Amino acid sequence: MAEPILRAVNLSKRFGGLTAVNDVSLELHVGQVHALIGPNGAGKSTLTNLLSGDLKPSAGHIHYAGVDLAGMSAERISHLGLGRSYQKTNIFLAFSVFENCRLAAQSRRQRAWRIFRKASRFEDVNARARAALEAVGLASRRDAIAAALSHGEQRQLEIAMCLATEPQVLLLDEPLAGMGPQESGTIVELIRSLTAAHAIMLIEHDMDAVFAVAHRLTVMVNGEVLASGTPSEVRANEVVQQAYLGEEHGAGDV
């Protein structure tokens, strides 16, 4: 297989006496969805926060683009091409859909801006905001106030804001949470369409969606990796079936 674009090695995060992420290693590849699954409190969001720089690891390394991201600020990591969506939506409800996206697009290019003239820099930012809204299917809602969007549309907007930063790596923390089947289907299709050009880490509890899009799966329990492999390897793993997957997605239906 080609070289991974991101390689997390022996990452740990301790909160006082609790080890939320314990010696976790994981690789992400462009063209692949790597699903991170596991029960509530397993450490999935904490691991995402370590990769995105929202939290500093207690130990370990994150190799990406020739540098170690461990300990870098979230802003720097975003500039380097890692984008993330949050488990709880992180949008400005009083602003329009387009404005939310434009602010996200701006945040990525602060440094590069200085070399542009004023007019062209706004064109660039606006174009990226428009493209991101189109990619997620929200172009027709661009002037709506974010608070007026349905829950599903707000999740779509969150992904658009992530795309507006033009990331190579997308970290999606439960993008389907609280969605109905139709909205979920739209996001699953969106994730599929983004896969060729991105490395995607998808945290999701909906196993139908996970098995529909994932190329690799990592199962976390109690902060540790219980198993990692292709969907059929993970399905066939008896420990995983007992600890997490249960009958429905276990070896029986492979």
Ligand X SMILES: Nc1ncnc2c1ncn2[C@@H]1O[C@H](COP(=O)(O)OP(=O)(O)OP(=O)(O)O)[C@@H](O)[C@H]1O
Give residues in contact with Mg ion (CB under 5 A): 44-45, 87
Q: What is the DSSP letter of 251?
A: G
25 binds, among Mg ion, ligand X, none (CB under 5 to 8 A by kind): none
5 makes contact with ligand X (CB under 6 A)? no
CB-count burial class (<10 Å; 0-12, 13-18, 19+) for 89 = middle
* Least distance (Å) between residue 40 CB and Mg ion: 7
* Least distance (Å) between residue 201 CB and ligand X: 12
| Cα dist from 135 to 61, 160, 186, 201, 242, whole Å | 32, 7, 11, 18, 39
43 binds, among ligand X, Mg ion, none (CB under 5 to 8 A by kind): ligand X
Indicate the residue whose CB is closest to Mg ion. Answer: 45
- Residue 8, helix vs strand vs coil: strand
* Least distance (Å) between residue 246 CB and ligand X: 16
Identity of the residue, 98 or 244, whose beta carbon is nearer to ligand X in the bound complex: 244
Choosing from 41, 137, 185, 229, the residue that interacts with ligand X (CB under 6 A) is: 41
Identity of the residue, 18 or 147, whose beta carbon is nearer to ligand X in the bound complex: 18
218 makes contact with ligand X (CB under 6 A)? no
Identity of the residue, 42 or 200, whose beta carbon is nearer to ligand X in the bound complex: 42
Q: Count of residues binding ligand X (CB under 6 A)? A: 12
87 makes contact with ligand X (CB under 6 A)? yes
85 binds, among ligand X, Mg ion, none (CB under 5 to 8 A by kind): none
**Residue 96 phi, psi (nearest 5):** -75, 165
44 makes contact with ligand X (CB under 6 A)? yes
Residues 6+ apart with CB under 8 A from 158: 85, 86, 89, 90, 91, 175
222 φ/ψ sector (left φ>0, alpha ψ -120 to 50, else beta): left
20 binds, among Mg ion, ligand X, none (CB under 5 to 8 A by kind): ligand X
User: Is there a contact between 78 and 165 (Cβ–Cβ < 8 Å)?
Assistant: yes
Report how far Cα 232 is from the mean position of its chain's Cα atoms: 23
- Of 244, 221, 230, 241, the C-alpha closest to 44 is 221
* Residue ranges in contact with ligand X by CB under 6 A: 15, 18, 20, 38, 40-46, 87
